[in-house]
Amino acid sequence: SLAGKLVGSLDGIEYHYEPPTLKAISSLYTCGQLDISTAKILLTIYLSEDLLLESVQGRNANFRPTDYSMIFNTISWPDLVHRWQELSNRDDALEWIDNKQIRLAIKIPNLTDSLKLFNQLISDFRTILVVRDGRDVVQSVLKKKWMTDNSLKREMYPYSSIQDGIPVPYWVSDSKREEWPHMTPHTRSCMMYNYYSKIGYDLHEKDSTILSHVLR
């Protein structure tokens, strides 16, 4: 979140914090529920229309001071008012984006298994991978209660199956699905961290154009 704030405060950057629809589209593609052509169409529309253009025009600005996505974490009040006054329609926003060479930056966890898709979709795609101690990640996931039975039933992950009434996320291997309902949140959190972090490290080793920067 801190790295995202730093990037989001740079000139020429429109920043978004963990948009859930982006995670949903990319995960549905990764687990085979969307073909690549459909995923590219949905992502193109979502990234350009719902994120970049809406952000540039100051629509749906979040003013909640306790949220990481609060608008004033990245732009000032005068800047926001200026956009409301000067960018009256979509054409104005497109011209503004072109003139100022605006780029879209997104902070989102657990997207390493979809990076190849984004690399194909976006011609000048760049990724900053923040390498974090796995123990800290697991503690954070436990605090947010993402891997509890109640949370799994409530959240909108792409699930591969349901075992004993507990949804099984798509990243759980076939050999572990029957065990999943009986695992503790600690074990589930460790499995999630291992899945996504291994992909991130492997991608960086194999293709430096996909993960162009590593922050340690």
pLDDT given at position 94: 96
3-state secondary structure of 15: strand
> Going by C-beta distance under 8 Å and a sequence separation of 6 or more, which residues neighbour residue 142?
185, 186, 189
Is the model's pLDDT at 216 over the cut of 50?
no
131-156 in b/e burial notation, b at 16+ Cβ within 10 A? eeeeeebbeebbeeebbeeeebeeee
Q: Which of 66-80, 158-172, 198-212 has the lowest mean pLDDT?
A: 198-212
| Ranges of H-type helices in 101-133 | 115-121
Q: Is pLDDT larger for residue 173 or for residue 216?
A: 173
pLDDT given at position 207: 56
Q: Is pLDDT larger for residue 89 or for residue 131?
A: 89
pLDDT band at 109 (very low <50, low <70, confident <90, very high): confident
3-state secondary structure of 208: coil
Would you give the DSSP letter of residue 162?
E
Is the model's pLDDT at 175 over the cut of 70?
yes
Q: Tokens 């009434």 appear where?
A: 165
Q: What is the pLDDT of residues 63-108, one digit of tens each?
A: 999 998 899 988 999 999 999 999 999 999 999 999 999 999 999 8
Question: Which sign, positive or negative, has the C-alpha torsion 9, 43, 137, 205?
Answer: negative
**Quick one: which H or E segment has residue 151?**
helix 149-154
Is the model's pLDDT at 34 over the cut of 80?
yes
For the segment 7-26, the average pLDDT, to the nearest whole number, is: 91
Is the model's pLDDT at 214 over the cut of 60?
no
Q: Which of 12-16, 40-44, 109-113, 186-190 has the lowest mean pLDDT?
A: 109-113
Backbone phi and psi for residue 128, each to the nearest 5 degrees, phi listed first: -110, 115
The encoded tokens of residue 198 equal 């291994």
Is the model's pLDDT at 213 over the cut of 50?
no
The encoded tokens of residue 117 equal 């898709």
